[in-house]
Structure 1
Amino acid sequence: MSYVLVEYPREGICLITLNRPERMNAMAFDVMVPLKEALEEVGYNNDIRAVIVTGAGEGFCAGADLEDPGWLDIFNGLTVPGIARRAMRVLEDVVRTINNLPQPVIAAVNGAAIGGGFCLAMAADIRIASEKAYFRPAGINNGLTSAELGLSYLLPRAIGTSRAFEIMLTGRDVDALEAADMGIVSRCVHPDQLLEECCAMGERIAGFSQLGVEMSKQMLWAGVDAGSLHTHMNHEGHAQLYVRMTTRNFEEAIRARKEGRRPEYKD
């Protein structure tokens, strides 16, 4: 049985589904390693313009698999601390892969996003939630820290420090409506409309210049890391000039607007 399903619901759209609903799509290695491989493969598929990640069943991803996390050959010969660190690296690589993907990644959060599942959702570029979804930083509830897999970096940048500190230090649940209100997700929708909403968003993105979208994603994430406005504007300017001078996209956009049609970007 495949624990990661890869489908193409519409032209230019890839849907990747975590497919172990009986365990709430927990982050066992036989789920996370195939997820990373699927992401890497689609990243090199230039026909794919947007990627949607979701979970099968009632959960998006329940975080650590406490029942049976599995075993990888890279753990052989290591002591327990070494295994733990190597295991964390495997999960961290999934977050990095999402971040580095050239295509925008939309998290279709269909249900519980707990612990590492919360982190997985935050790693996406855009998050849309079902009304049944909720988010919980699990570590603090289990005698650990709630800071894992980039959450203490990504969440404050998404919603501000005060709200992020409160959520991560209390370990409370954030339902879909509150998540939309504070900016964890862009919006929440009826469960039956979740994938339709995400596909429609992916199609809109696919209608733009491929290079323009890729550079926009890169600049947005660079802005999150920017040390200063001056430095970042300099990077933005170079990216904009690169797209302007190496493609005919701008001319096509102006021509299409004058002719009352959708632009057809070739570059």
Structure 2
Amino acid sequence: METISIEEAAPHVAVLTLNRPDRLNAITLKMYDEIEETVDALSRDTSTRVLVITGAGRGFCSGQDLRDLGADPAASDLGRIQFGMAWQARASRLIKAVHELPQAVIAAVNGPASGAGLAIALAADIRLAARSARFNVAFVRIGLSGADMGTSYFLPRIVGPTAAAEMMLTGRLIDAPEAKDNGLVLRVVDDGTVVDEAVSIASAIVANSPFGVRMTKQVLWNNIDAPSLDAAMQVENRTQILASLTEDCREAEAAFLTKRAPVFSNK
């Protein structure tokens, strides 16, 4: 692949690195394609249980590379609006694919995460920040709406509507400590250690049963939008019964009683 790399950093833990460091990993059409192809393959890979996303060099992702916006609308057989809507749907599809991965996703943010980069980080289940991390809703700074690529859905749910409104309306950069204060990231760590911290958390996730982790992620995000406590509990109840009937649940119980580490088979 030209714009990303992926490797196994620990048992069952994959690290996907955005790899255009000379452009602070600004996203291109090729990068959209390569990330989406990789995420699609991972969604069917039962051996990978956690995905860590980070950026090579000094940045996580500085947003859309404005020098690479795909085909020229004038050369398309679509109208300008229709072309724009197709491009917008293309970009947004990636965020949905990352968020809907059955595996847990951790964003290890180093340097700037702006615009599309912020959207990728928001799509993750957990975010960690290096001290150099910076976050902003860049769209509004270039004449567009601050509501783009899922930002208006994720950001208010993560930091609350007031902090989200300020970020989205001003487009200002917030640093790592402020991101920690408003709940955008779980913790801040020294530069050069954010991927290690992400892999450490990923390994703690991997210590749990694969089915239990997948169902936890699914139910957590489903119940963020649950219409009522009763509806949320109904989903929880069904999921617990499903999990209780797996072989891995019996293995976890046996391991607990005999004071040993469980060996899960994903059955």
**TM-score normalized by structure 2?**
0.94
Q: Indicate the residue corresponding to 1:259 in structure 2.
A: 258
Write the distance in 2 (CA, Å) between the matches of 1:141 and 1:108: 25
The amino acid that maps onto 1:114 is S
Q: Indicate the residue corresponding to 1:17 in structure 2.
A: 17
Flag structure 1 segments of 5+ consecutive residues without an equivalent: none
Cα deviations across residues 14-72 of structure 1 (Å, max 9, x unaligned)?
Answer: 11111111122112101111101111111111110100111111111111211223349
The amino acid that maps onto 2:57 is G
* Offset at residue 185 of structure 1 (A): 0.7
Flag structure 2 segments of 5+ consecutive residues without an equivalent: none
Q: Indicate the residue corresponding to 2:40 in structure 1.
A: 40
SS at match of 1:192: coil
| Percent of residue pairs bearing the same amino acid type | 37
Q: Indicate the residue corresponding to 1:129 in structure 2.
A: 129
Q: Indicate the residue corresponding to 2:51 in structure 1.
A: 51
* Offset at residue 12 of structure 1 (A): 0.6
* Offset at residue 258 of structure 1 (A): 2.5
* Offset at residue 136 of structure 1 (A): 0.5
**TM-score normalized by structure 1?**
0.94
Equivalent residue pairs, number: 265
Cα deviations across residues 128-182 of structure 1 (Å, max 9, x unaligned)?
Answer: 1111001000122222211101111111111111111111112111111111111
SS at match of 1:61: coil
Assess if the C-alpha contact under 8 Å between 2:29 and 2:68 holds in 1. no
Cα deviations across residues 174-221 of structure 1 (Å, max 9, x unaligned)?
Answer: 111111111101111111211111111111111111010000000011
Write the distance in 2 (CA, Å) between the matches of 1:158 and 1:82: 32
Assess if the C-alpha contact under 8 Å between 1:4 and 1:34 holds in 2. yes
Write the distance in 2 (CA, Å) between the matches of 1:142 and 1:151: 16
Does residue 79 of structure 2 align to residue 79 of structure 1?
yes
The amino acid that maps onto 1:128 is L
The amino acid that maps onto 1:3 is T
SS at match of 2:193: helix
Write the distance in 2 (CA, Å) between the matches of 1:139 and 1:250: 46
SS at match of 1:180: helix
* Offset at residue 254 of structure 1 (A): 2.7
Write the distance in 2 (CA, Å) between the matches of 1:38 and 1:44: 10
Q: Indicate the residue corresponding to 1:191 in structure 2.
A: 191
Write the distance in 2 (CA, Å) between the matches of 1:139 and 1:229: 35
Write the distance in 2 (CA, Å) between the matches of 1:47 and 1:63: 31
